[in-house]
Structure 1
Amino acid sequence: MTDFSDLVVARSQVVIRTNIYTDLAAEEVTIEGLQEESLLRALPEVFSRLVFALEADRVNLTYAGFPSGWVQLTSAPAWGELGAEDFFQVIRDPALPTLGKMRITASTGASSSTIQPGDLVVRYGAGSAQKLYVNTEGFAPVPGSYVDVAMTAQEAGAAGNIGNGATLYLVTAYPGLSVTNPAITGTQSWITRRGKDAETLVSLKQRCDEKWADLSLEVSSQRFARIIRDAFEAAGETNPITRIYVDDTNPDGPGSVWVYMAREGSTATAEDVALVDAYVVPRWRTGGGPFKSYAASTLTITVSGTIKGPANSDSALEQASAALQALAPTYAIGEAVVYLEQIRTALMTGVSGAVNVVLSAPIADTSIPAGSIVAFSIGSITVEP
Structure 2
Amino acid sequence: MPEKNTYPVQLVQPDGHRVLDRVHAPLVADIDGARLRAMYTDMVVARRIDTEATALQRQGQLGLWPPLLGQEAAQIGSAHALAPDDYVFCSYREAGVAYCRGVAPEDLTRLWRGAAHSCWDPDTVKMTNPAIVVGSQGLHATGYAYAAHLEGAEIATIAYFGDGATSQGDIAEALGFAASWSAPVVFFCQNNHWAISAPVRVQSATPIARRALGYGIPGVQVDGNDALAVLAVTRQALRRARAGGGPSFIEAITYRMGPHTTADDPTRYRTAAELEIWQHRDPIDRLKRLLEREGLWDSAFEATVAERADAVAARLRNATLTMPDPEPLALFDHVYATPHRLIDEERREYAAYLEGAGR
* TM-score higher than 0.5: no
TM-score by length of 2: 0.20
Bigger proportion of residues as helix: 2
TM-score by length of 1: 0.19
Q: Which has the higher contact order (CA 8 A, sep 6+)?
A: 2
